[in-house]
Amino acid sequence: MPDGTGLWFLIGGIFIPSSILDVTLMVIIRSERQTVNKKYGSLFYRLFFVQGILELSMLCVYITGKLLVRERLLGNALIMSSNGSIFPMFYYYGMVLYFFNVQVWGVIVHSIGRFALVCIPESSARHVLESLTDTVWALINILVPMTPLCRQIFQDPVSFMPDSGGNTVLSVPTRVSQANATQCIITTSVATVFCALCNVGVLRKILQFRREISSRLNYLLEVRLAIVGFVHFLAQFAMTAFHVIVIFTVDDQPFIQNIRTNYIIPVMALTFVHPWMLIITHGNLRRQ
């Protein structure tokens, strides 16, 4: 796995073009929704806009935290002096575990929205989902991921400590790391199975009722959106592997620290797979 300067080159190479693309798509979707035709006004694009702002903001906070701590921009003395304050807790539970919950919930809510639209279009559930405003969706996507933290924040405290190379790293008690990794595996496994069922149901419905869809253009659009959702699900599945590795290597602290250092790679993959797949599969967005 890359480390040091190589890791930051990789982060920059992914983050800069991907964040520009993400923001550009959100601006296009937002501006087109305000036109007379209200293009991109479906639940899929509304969720993409709301969740995109949340995840991109949290990714910026996450990268900033890594720069301040891992690259010692704050200085080892200042970082170590924060032990006993809220900062180590926020660094671990806020920037890592809460962000993880936000991303998992984002995949779930996208899957629910697509399933309701395609598989049960006349149901009250679909009408309720579409009636919620962007503000309400933003609140839901912020608050729901907080619920798994209710147990975690009462665990043994975490703190910063220097490693053998003089770098300041986060020290998490073994049982805390194992318990949280187990909870993350359970969370993402349940979410992965649920999203897989939703995506299979959507693809099956689209193929089953191909002739009933109003036009070939609409049919291709539905297929493209289904593909985007499926790849989003695959990125979440890859995230599960990192937490499985933590479970089986929890006693190997140097390896765990290496895993934590490179954890940002699957985080960015899950954040940016949606806009990249959308621009690849959606010709109109590419042209705009």
Q: Give the DSSP H or E segment for 103.
A: helix 99-119
Q: Please state the rounded mean pLDDT for residues 223-251.
A: 72
pLDDT tens digits for range 110-167: 889 888 888 888 888 888 998 999 999 999 999 999 988 888 778 888 888 877 777 7
Q: Mean pLDDT across the chain, nearest whole number?
A: 81
Better-scored residue on pLDDT, 18 or 39? 18
pLDDT band at 72 (very low <50, low <70, confident <90, very high): confident
Better-scored residue on pLDDT, 243 or 157? 157
Report pLDDT for 217: 46
Helix/strand/coil for 15: helix
- Is the model's pLDDT at 32 over the cut of 50? yes
- Is the model's pLDDT at 213 over the cut of 60? no
- Is the model's pLDDT at 288 over the cut of 60? no
Residue with tokens 């300041």: 168
Report pLDDT for 145: 92
DSSP 8-state code for residue 160: E
- Is the model's pLDDT at 180 over the cut of 50? yes
As separate numbers, helices (DSSP H) first and strands (DSSP E) second, the chain gives: 13, 2
The whole-angstrom separation of Cα 250 and Cα 168 is 19
The whole-angstrom separation of Cα 191 and Cα 196 is 8
Better-scored residue on pLDDT, 43 or 58? 58
| 24-33, 199-208, 227-236: the lowest-pLDDT one | 227-236
Q: What Rg value do the Cα atoms of the chain yield, rounded?
A: 20
- Is the model's pLDDT at 219 over the cut of 70? no
Contact 250, 174 (CB under 8 A): yes
- Is the model's pLDDT at 255 over the cut of 80? no
- Is the model's pLDDT at 35 over the cut of 70? no
Report pLDDT for 176: 86
Helix/strand/coil for 2: coil
- Is the model's pLDDT at 262 over the cut of 90? no
Burial of 103 (C-beta count, 10 Å sphere; 0-12/13-18/19+): buried
Q: Please state the rounded mean pLDDT for residues 84-103.
A: 88
Residue with tokens 């807790």: 89
The whole-angstrom separation of Cα 164 and Cα 158 is 19
- Is the model's pLDDT at 189 over the cut of 50? yes
Give me the phi and psi of 92, to 5 degrees please.
Answer: -85, -55
Residues 6+ apart with CB under 8 A from 15: 59, 63, 268
Report pLDDT for 222: 64
The whole-angstrom separation of Cα 143 and Cα 164 is 39
Residues 6+ apart with CB under 8 A from 74: 68
Report pLDDT for 142: 94
CATH number, domain 4-287, options 1.20.1070.10, 2.60.40.1180, 3.40.50.2300, 1.10.10.10: 1.20.1070.10
Helix/strand/coil for 10: helix
Contact 185, 236 (CB under 8 A): no
pLDDT band at 221 (very low <50, low <70, confident <90, very high): low
- Is the model's pLDDT at 241 over the cut of 80? no
Q: Compute the residue count for the chain.
A: 288
Q: Report the percentage of the chain scoring pLDDT > 90.
A: 15
